[in-house]
Amino acid sequence: MATGTRPHERPTRHALSARRRRAPARALAFVLAAAALGGCVTQDATTGENIPRGNQRYEFAKVEKAAEQLQDGMTKAQVLMLLGSAAEMDDAGDTWIYLPERYGILIPARALQLEFKDSVLVSHGYHPIVLGTKL
Same-domain pairing of 64 and 121? yes
Contact call for residues 115 and 127 (beta carbons, < 8 A)? no
In a domain, 72, yes or no: yes
How many other C-beta atoms lie within 10 A of the C-beta of residue 125? 12
Domain assignment of residue 104, given as a range:
60-128
Number of domains forming the structure of the chain: 2
Identify the CATH number of the domain in which residue 110 sits.
Answer: 3.30.1450.10
Same-domain pairing of 5 and 64? no
pLDDT tens digits for range 16-59: 555 555 555 554 444 444 444 444 556 666 776 777 777 898 99
Please, which residues bridge with residue 50 across strands?
A: 43
pTM score, whole prediction:
0.63
Return all residues near 82 (Cβ < 8 A) that are at least 6 apart. 66, 67, 69, 70, 74
Same-domain pairing of 66 and 30? no
Same-domain pairing of 65 and 121? yes
